[in-house]
Amino acid sequence: MSEGIFKTVKLRVEGMTCTNCALGISRALQNEGFHKVDADFAGGEVSFEVADENIVPLAKKRIESLGYRVTDVTDQVVKEKKGLSPIEKKFWFSAIFTVPLILAMFIPVDFLHNDIFQLILTIPVFIVGFFHFGRSAWYSIRSGVTNMDVLIFLGSTAAFIYSLIGTVYRLGHDYMFYETSASIITIVLLGNMLEHRSVKKTTGAIDDLVKLQRNLARRLITEMHEGGESVEEIDAALVEKGDRVLVNTGDKIPVDGEIYWGTASVDESLLSGESLPVEKQKGDKVVGGTVLVSGTIKVKTTATGKETVLSQIIELVRNAQKDKPKLQNLADKISMIFVPAVVVLALLTITYWFFGTDLPFRDSLMRGIAVLVIACPCALGLAIPTAVVVGLGRSAKTGILIKGGSSIDKLSSVDTVVFDKTGTLTTGKFSIKNLECFNHPEESVRRILYSLEKHSSHPIAKAITGYFKGAGEISFSEVGEQKGMGVSATGADGNVYVAGSYNVASHLTGDDSHNVYLLMNDRLIAWLDLEDEIKPGARQLISTLKKKGIKTVLLSGDRKQRCESIAGELGIEEVYYEKLPGEKLEVIDSLGVDSKVAMIGDGINDAPALTRAFIGVSMSDATQVAVKSAEVILLKGDLGLLEKAFGTARTTVRTVKENLFWAFFYNVSAIPLAMAGLLTPIVAAFAMAVSDVIVVLNSLRLKRRRLR
């Protein structure tokens, strides 16, 4: 096969109920030669890479041969189905037949105890269970990753066949365990059904976001000046880049774009969690999915489809669920050896009680079945994904995007926080305090500054271009920005201009107290004093971090005096000033030697530092999500979010640990009880369902849990 370009294909797969199912599918596809296979049971999705799309049907077939249903490629809108899901139908069907069997244990009515009557009631349940668990068990054995359904299948079948033999040979009531067989099936189906529902609930965050995408757009075909306005209503998915779109009060903004006409206040809470509407006017950017609270605007489309902010966020949240925390590998390995081990333990139990004691075979078998059923490691498979998904969903709702389980892991263990100054601790909205010119007309200085800074996206540059707008422009033959230093250019007339920090002017003046120095042909012609304010909440944040025992550091390219005054005011312990971008990386490396460093920056001009740190957190507003460089993205510049991000991570990890305790410790400690004969199979089945539910509820509790 030639080295083609690989494409990622995603399939929506129904019927994956636990991590073992997902592992089985991954294995099977890998054996068929598919690359980068990733099966995500919580999201119901399987993805892989192919060079040739014609082999996608092969993957579908393979997955279906394992007993799952491939419904669609996920990019397409998945219609919400009404009515009962297959698992719900199976449960209710089984429950109807099982209830009289269970009643028989409490009510002394003769016909309820009749073995033929019980057999007739059990057969339908047994058939449902036989195919439901049997098929899944069989495929799991074939794919080499045995799942918990093996245990359920063995347990229920053993009880049924044993009772059947008793009925056929008329061996009496001692052989009647129909209700055991039926109850195991029904109770586990109940557990599966509840699990299915709660996994759906935990993945709700994505569905909410996806719903935002489905939208109508009013596309402007012609405008007033083109001989009258005409508008057509189309699906937002059909709008193309460059199209002009009209948005009225109350509409959802259908695309990402820039306002070219009108003013509006926009509710961006669905992206950033911020409830106050944001005022927007001509030239401002808007994000698809946000809501126009008042006003009317016309927007020129800048991004559609996969390029939109919303799509990127959805993609991020989706992938986030697949990125497994380190604890997950452990859980996966445990459940892979767990099932065979339990089968062996069950056989040992039967053998011991039957041959080693004078217990009848009937009771020995029941103890073995109880072992099979109690040991089901299903809750173990749920422990991590449910908590991670809820944690990610909760943070996404408040405007915190976390790249995945491993990022949550990292975030929760950070012990040093390094802050960039501009745009992170300060607003980054500079006001110009003073402009002083030396033997050069101010008008020309303004023009030079405006023309130079147009080429930079640094917050200082934005302030300068905003301030000196309309000063006119000069044309350059060459322009370049040196990050953390400034901008330089050569004019069409041969003059050389430099605007930057004291570093560019240190050979010309001893006065280092200004922010920006302007040089023309290596002569100082002006300097500029700028000031931005400390963000509200900064002091509060620093003191909270300190209380948690986290070290705080300020790392900036700005002057010593300014950095020290800010650090002093906020109570930051360690300060590094006048650092060039390369030196910033060195500082991060040296801090990282013996601590876990989170770097907090705006993600626009400090991307390398964000990538270099143990974990990078970028804060910027939703219109310019800097997804690539950071693992954690705060969709607005509010420092309170940072505290929440740490809190959510810590609380999620805590929940995971609790879940593992409930699932794992619980299973393991119950096995000896079952082996000793202290648990009947029905109680075991019930207890198992309870442990699933406890884990899922504990994860759901994370939605509202107080953050620590």
Q: Which residues bind ligand ADP (CB under 6 A)?
A: 420-422, 453, 456, 458, 460-461, 484-487, 499-501, 515-516, 556-558, 605
The HSE-up count of residue 699 (CA atoms within 13 Å, CB side) is 33
Measured CA to CA in angstroms, residue 216 lies from 189, 252, 483, 517 at distances of 41, 8, 42, 50
Q: What is the CA radius of gyration of the chain?
A: 32
C-alpha distances in Å from residue 134, one per residue of 4, 21, 160, 518, 638: 41, 14, 14, 78, 53
Q: Scan for tokens 């509840």, then name that residue.
A: 194
Q: Which does 487 bind (CB under 5 to 8 A by kind): Mg ion, ligand ADP, none?
A: ligand ADP
Residue nearer to Mg ion on the CB measure, 252 or 579: 579
Pick one of ligand ADP, Mg ion, none as the site partner of residue 499 (Cβ within 5 to 8 A by kind). Answer: ligand ADP
Q: Provide, rounded to whole angstroms, the least separation between the CB of residue 536 and ligand ADP.
A: 19
CB of 435 to ligand ADP, least distance (A): 13
Which of 198, 188, 202 minimizes the C-alpha distance to 147? 188
Residue 130's closest CA among 171, 72, 188?
188
Verify whether residue 174 is a known catalytic residue. Answer: no
- Which positions lie near Mg ion, rule CB under 5 A? 420, 422, 605
Partner in contact with 501, chosen from ligand ADP, Mg ion, none, beta carbon below 5 to 8 Å by kind: ligand ADP
Half-sphere exposure of 69 (CA within 13 A, CB side): 6
* Shortest Å, Cβ 577 to ligand ADP: 9
Q: Are strands 244-247 and 256-267 parallel, antiparallel or unpaired?
A: unpaired
Token pair, residue 527, equals 């300097």
Instruction: Give me the amino acid identity at 304.
Output: T
Q: How far is the CB of 82 from ligand ADP (least distance, A)?
A: 54
Identify which of 607, 614, 651, 617 has the alpha carbon closest to the alpha carbon of residue 637. Answer: 617
607 binds, among ligand ADP, Mg ion, none (CB under 5 to 8 A by kind): none
Nearest CB to Mg ion, comparing residues 43 and 423: 423
Cβ distance to ligand ADP smaller for residue 483 or 703: 483
Contacted entry of Mg ion, ligand ADP, none for residue 460, CB cut-off 5 to 8 Å set by kind: ligand ADP
Q: How far is the CB of 449 from Mg ion (least distance, A)?
A: 19
Least distance in angstroms from the C-beta of 557 to ligand ADP = 2
Taking CB within 5 to 8 Å according to partner kind, which of Mg ion, ligand ADP, none is near residue 515? ligand ADP
C-beta closer to ligand ADP: residue 40 or 420: 420
Provide the 10 A C-beta neighbour count for residue 476.
Answer: 19
Query: Alpha-carbon dihedral of residues 117, 121, 122, 128, nearest 10 degrees?
Result: 160
Q: In sequence order, which ranges of 268-308 are alpha helices (DSSP H)? A: 269-272
CB 453 → ligand ADP: shortest distance, Å?
Answer: 6
**Smallest distance, Mg ion to C-beta of residue 422, A:** 4
Look-up: residue for tokens 């669609």? 72
Nearer to ligand ADP, 558 or 658 (CB): 558
Q: 605 vs 648, which CB is nearer to Mg ion?
A: 605
Of the pair 429, 654, the CB lying nearest Mg ion is at 429
Nearest-approach distance from CB 452 to Mg ion, in angstroms:
18
Six token digits for residue 183: 């109850």
CA trace torsion 137, 139, 143, 145 (10° rounding): -20
Q: Which of 511, 501, 505 is nearest to 524 (CA)?
A: 505
Distance separating the N- and C-terminal Cα atoms of the chain:
53
**Residue 308: which of Mg ion, ligand ADP, none does it interact with, CB under 5 to 8 A by kind?**
none
Binding at 45: pick from ligand ADP, Mg ion, none (beta carbon under 5-8 Å per type): none
Q: Which is nearer to Mg ion, 407 or 556 (CB)?
A: 556
Identify whether the C-beta of residue 611 lies closer than 8 Å to the C-beta of residue 629.
yes
Taking the complex as a whole, the smallest distance from the CB of residue 484 to ligand ADP amounts, in Å, to 4
- Closest residue (Cβ) to ligand ADP? 557
In the list ligand ADP, Mg ion, none, the entry touching 458 (Cβ below 5 to 8 angstroms by class) is: ligand ADP
Q: Spell out the SS3 assignment of 466-527.
A: HHCCCCCCCCEEEEEEECCCEEEEEECCCCEEEEECHHHCCCCCCCCCCCEEEEECCEEEEE
Measured distance CA(634)–CA(627) in Å, rounded: 10
- Tally of helices (H runs) and strands (E runs) in the chain: 23, 24
d(CA 141, CA 686): 25
Choice between 136 and 501, CB closer to ligand ADP: 501
The neighbour count for residue 16, using CB atoms within 10 Å, is 26
From 420, 606, 621, 692, active-site residue: 420
Q: How far apart are CA 439 and CA 443, in angstroms?
A: 12
User: 217 in helix, strand or coil?
Assistant: strand
158 binds, among ligand ADP, Mg ion, none (CB under 5 to 8 A by kind): none
Nearer to ligand ADP, 172 or 582 (CB): 582
Residue type, 405: G
CA distance 90 to 76: 28
By the 8 A CB rule, do 222 and 243 touch?
no
Pairing, β 551-555 against β 416-420: parallel
Catalytic residues: 420
